[in-house]
Amino acid sequence: MDLLFRDDQALMREALRLATKAAASDEVPIGAVIAKNGRIIGRGYNQVEMLQDPTAHAEILAITQAAATVGDWRLNDCDMFVTKEPCP
């Protein structure tokens, strides 16, 4: 889905939608979105329990997807929207 989001609030709403999806799966309700020029290039929600993977946090999954989308691990000029402050 290649939608153009016109403002930060719309991107945060998408992150909140993903957090709701996590909650419905009995996960910690966190969602994350990475955008470049208003286009979402990565998204994720917590899937630690579902995947039995301690690294399957929303932020990590979104970063992995974004890097695959742009073909580079450097996500220059991108913005991340997360429903909670990322883990240290």
Residue positions annotated with a catalytic role? 59
Candidates 83, 85, 86; CA nearest to 11 is 83
